Amino acid sequence: MNARSEPPSEPPPARPDAPSAAGASARPPLLRELLLVVGLFLVYAFGRRLATGHSEAALRNGYDVWELERALHLPGEGAVQSLLLHGGGLVHLANTYYAAVHFPATAAFLIWLYLRRPVHYLWARHVLAAVTAAALVLHLAFPLAPPRMLAATGLVDTGRVYGPSVYGPPQTDTLSNQFAAMPSLHFGWALMVAIGLVVATRSRWRLLWLLHPLLTLLVIVGTANHFWLDAIVAAALLGTALAALRLPHPARRPPAVPTVPAQSGEADAARAEVEGLVGARR
């Protein structure tokens, strides 16, 4: 029989957006992750509560930051707010974005990574935890009032005036620390969400995710909840965390050794030689 050796068929390449077996094995247990996230949130909330009660220092630091921004010739926050105040609907939308997008967007980002990109999930979780821990230290060491509390800025507390607002009067607000403006975790988390999705996806439109931190920046400044420097410090902390906590590269499979099929001429010659030896024995 004139058989010819054929090269083994290669499996079709995996889709770039399909979770690999190695990635699935890297996914941590769900219950452990839920307990870890809840524990980290409780620690952070308790830490923020420790930073309350420093209103005088926070207001003094707020005026210092305001003067520093003027010395650095940063754009005035009022320029962004004036754009929002041109229409009541726009400022209401900005307040809603500030109140409703921050936590759900970050949670959805982590859930998607956990289900579809387990390796990216571990990396993003570590980075967010590091940034949040560093922010907590700064909140304790440098209490800062937001610009909406400073008369010298001339800015409007859009949440209180136009609604919705997530804050009550600072003296009676027991759910949040309003003197933890620097760094802005609204911006830091939004920037990490965008970077994580750009890295973890392959769509040609993935750079559009960067619109999320850009819009968040305009919202936190336009609503007078943060200074420009709050976002700059958050970006610096995130950059440091990303430099220290690199995304692990997946292990590469060794290249397959190609099999060389036998040439038809060599096969015919070998068969003729065998037939000649058989004939000689007869």
List pLDDT tens digits, range 170-218. 655 556 778 889 999 999 999 999 999 999 999 999 999 999 999 999 9
User: What integer pLDDT is reported at residue 203 of this predicted model?
Assistant: 92
> Taking the C-alpha atoms of 34, 35, 40 and 46 in order, what is their torsion angle to the nearest 10 degrees?
120
Q: Which residues contact 142 (CB under 8 A, 6 or more apart)?
A: 61, 182
Kindly state the percentage of the chain with pLDDT values over 70.
Answer: 73
User: What integer pLDDT is reported at residue 30 of this predicted model?
Assistant: 82
203-217, 220-234, 245-259, range with the lowest pLDDT: 245-259
User: What integer pLDDT is reported at residue 279 of this predicted model?
Assistant: 57
Confidence bin at 16 (pLDDT 50/70/90) = very low
Contact 117, 242 (CB under 8 A): no
Structure letter (DSSP) for residue 144: B
pLDDT, the chain, mean? 82
Rounded CA-CA distance 30/37 in Å is 11
Rounded CA-CA distance 280/77 in Å is 102
User: What integer pLDDT is reported at residue 31 of this predicted model?
Assistant: 83
Rounded CA-CA distance 232/239 in Å is 11
Find the mean pLDDT for residues 223-243.
97
At 77-116, the pLDDT tens digits run 999 999 999 876 899 999 999 999 999 999 999 999 999 9
Q: Tell which wins on pLDDT, 248 or 193.
A: 193
**In the predicted model, is pLDDT for residue 161 greater than 70?**
yes
Kindly state the percentage of the chain with pLDDT values over 90.
Answer: 57
Confidence bin at 49 (pLDDT 50/70/90) = low
Identify residue 72 by its one-letter amino acid code.
L
Contact 171, 220 (CB under 8 A): no
pTM score, two decimals? 0.78
Joined together, the tokens standing for residue 270 give 């070998």
User: What integer pLDDT is reported at residue 44 of this predicted model?
Assistant: 72
User: What integer pLDDT is reported at residue 147 of this predicted model?
Assistant: 96
